[in-house]
Structure formats: structure tokens, C-alpha cells
Amino acid sequence: MNESRLLRYLLLGLGALVLAGCSTTPKELAYEPETALVAYQPALAGQEGKPARWSGVIAAVHNEQDRSLVEVVYLPLKSNGVPVQTEQSPGRFLAVMEGFVDPTLYAKGRSLTVLGTLDKPVQSQIGDHKYQFSVIRVTGSKLWPPVKEVEVRYMDPYFHDPFYDPFWPRRPIRRW
């Protein structure tokens, strides 16, 4: 009886460990307390110096002499910090990163999550359209792996595989 109880506790602990490992935020994006983080709002003003963790899809990278400006289309975060892939976005923000950011790695369309402090909004342009960007000075970031396209294959609905038998192991034996 002690062995079964021990096994039960081990399995319960292992299950809790696995579940906890699946939903945690990466260490470069961790911030305590999470309730202190400012939620995204377009052209956020009056919140300078407050912490924020935002995510989205990279739209452009502009490298300057000593810093890089990463233009990001905002997407909401999942609990583990990964951006939720949606068709709608409330706006864009600029992630100000110290040093050089390689535009090949930080390519257009890649998902990015950043942690940092808010700065004053910046007036700029997207094409010919004037736009006011919310700005976050990055202290930690996570570039997520590219999302792979799913190949969709066409299957003929009238095709019949002569070797497929859904009842194979349990088919009753026919006797003539």
C-alpha cells in the first residue's frame, strides 16, 4: 500500500512539474509582480518609466548609430509570452533596443515579445500616413521561431484505397 501511495504522489508531482513548465514565461521576459505591467494602448502618453511587456509581429527594423528601432504590429500575449496570431491589431509600437539588431534575424513577419519601460510617444510615418507610436525601451526580448506554413493537400473524395480495411483486426471470418 505504501508503494502505491508513493507512486501516486510521484505521478502527481511529475504532472504538476510538466504543467508548470509548459506555461511559464521565459526568464528574459519575467517580471514580478505581473500586475504592475502596463497593457498596450495606441500612442500611450503619461506612463513614462512604467514597466510593460508587449508582443507582436515585426514590421520593420531601423538601425541607427548606437541603437535599433524595431517597428512591431501589436498582438496580445498568451500566458507564456507568445503572441496570439490574430487578424486584428489595435496598433503599432516602437521597441528601442540598444546596439545593433540584425535585420536578417529580426525579419519582417517574425514574432517578438519585449520587456522594458515606457517612453514618450513618437510621431512618425507608415508610408505617407502620419502615425504616433507608443515607445518601449527594451530590457529583455524573445524572438520566437518562425511559424511554419502548413501544407494543404488535396484528397480526391472518390478515391478508394483497395488495401485499406477499417475492420481489419476484428473482421469476422466468412465461411462459405
pLDDT at 151 (0 to 100): 67
Alpha carbons 46 and 135: distance in angstroms, whole number: 12
pLDDT at 39 (0 to 100): 81
pLDDT at 73 (0 to 100): 92
pLDDT at 78 (0 to 100): 82
What digits encode the pLDDT tens for the residues 39-58?
A: 877 766 778 888 988 999 99
Nearest to 54 by CA among 71, 80, 75, 85: 75
Spans in the chain with pLDDT lower than 50: none
Average pLDDT of the chain? 80
Domains in the chain: ranges and CATH: 26-143 (2.40.50.140)
Alpha carbons 72 and 107: distance in angstroms, whole number: 11
- Could you tell me the pTM of the whole model? 0.67
Alpha carbons 89 and 84: distance in angstroms, whole number: 11
